[in-house]
Amino acid sequence: MRLFALLLLAALSLPQRAAAAWPERPVTMIVPFAAGGPTDVVARIVGEHMSRTLGQQVVIENVAGAGGTTGITRAAQSAPDGYTIMMGHMGTHGAAPAVYPGLKYDPVKDFAPVGMAAGTPIVIVAKKAFPAKDLAEFVAYARKNGDKLNEGHAGVGSVSFTTCSLLNSVLGIKPTRVVYRGTGPALNDLVSGQIDYMCDQIVNLVPQIQAGTIRAYAVALPARSPALPDVPTTKEGGLPEYQVSAWNAVFAPKGTPREIVTRLNGALLQALADPATRKRLLDLGADLSDTASQSPEGLQKLVESEVARWSKVLKETGAAAPK
Ligand code: ASP
């Protein structure tokens, strides 16, 4: 009887001991978009520093498809043992339920939020040869020729999709919407002139804008981004009704031990406090000011408000799936 009780006790404390020993091997961070895009860039910068704090490699695995929901579904269904985490965003954990009625996860209920990695303002960009020198000309040209334009995005429900759904609805246009596995590959096609424009997260764009290989018309924020001081805001450019921004954040599957989530959050916060890591993110235009969402509780609140916000916005723009 005593032996049985001891065995039972040992079995019950197994997950706790596993949590205490964690991490004993590399941690996989699923990026639900193609390599080289904004989610991938943020994940690699933050993951590199987290590896140092955790003493184990944070390995990035790109699982692209369906606007990020393929990778997040896989991550949500993995063992909640701290060895699989993910870099989600405003699309996968905000907009997705409004556009995928059969979504296999609930952003509000199926995750253990870890913390916000980066706020990512949205920039309206176009190919270099686009016949408009500023936002006012872009708006006028798009309103006239909207049906002939090609817009690139990273799949239904992605940030580029949702934020450009909003832009297209403000402009009253219906361009051809070209789908990519992430805005990394979409940006390549913008640079080579295969597509006309995109709405994308700033961290993907700053190097190309600085190199002059694409045109940047406006940042959809009330104030200019310090990383792109020459790019006006939509308000300055005459389109004040287009204000939108996005974010990338780390999540673990629901059921991941609290102790592990706390350590992941600590490693994330250390990455964001590290001057070199911080500088890399800020130079790309990331906004690190939303410290409230850097805690698991704060991120949970953000997800709840984003799901509510996007279900309303996407219904209004006509992009939401009929229920
Ligand atoms: N964040 C996506 C990417 O990394 C793009 C998107 O959501 O628009 O490619």
Question: 3-state secondary structure string, the chain?
Answer: CHHHHHHHHHHHCHHHHHHHHCCCCCEEEEECCCCCCHHHHHHHHHHHHHHHHHCCCEEEEECCCHHHHHHHHHHHCCCCCCCEEEEEECHHHHHHHHHCCCCCCCCCCCEEEEEEEEEEEEEEEEECCCCCCCHHHHHHHHHHHHHHCEEEECCCCCHHHHHHHHHHHHHCCCCEEEECCCHHHHHHHHHCCCCCEEEEEHHHCHHHHHHCCEEEEEECCCCCCCCCCCCCECCCCCCCCCCCEEEEEEEEECCCCHHHHHHHHHHHHHHHHCHHHHHHHHHCCCECCCHHHHCHHHHHHHHHHHHHHHHHHHHHHCCCCCC
Tell me: pLDDT of 1 over 60.
no
Does the CB atom of residue 39 touch ligand 1 within 6 A? Answer: yes
Distance 11 CA to ligand 1 centre (A): 42
pLDDT at 288 over 60: yes
- Please work out whether the CB of residue 154 comes within 6 Å of at least one atom of ligand 1: yes
Q: State the pLDDT at residue 274.
A: 98
Q: What is the pLDDT of residues 48-68, one digit of tens each?
A: 999 999 999 999 999 999 999
CATH architecture, domain 14-119+247-316: 3-Layer(aba) Sandwich (3.40)
Which tens digit of pLDDT belongs to each residue from 293-307? 999 999 999 999 999
pLDDT bin (cut points 50, 70, 90) of residue 323 is very low
CA of 181, closest atom in ligand 1: 9
Q: Is the CB of 159 under 6 A from ligand 1?
A: yes
160 lines ligand 1 (CB under 6 A): yes
| Third-level CATH fold of 122-219 | D-Maltodextrin-Binding Protein; domain 2 (3.40.190)
Domains in the chain: boundaries? 14-119+247-316, 122-219
Query: pLDDT tens across 81-110, in order?
Result: 999 999 999 999 999 999 999 999 999 999
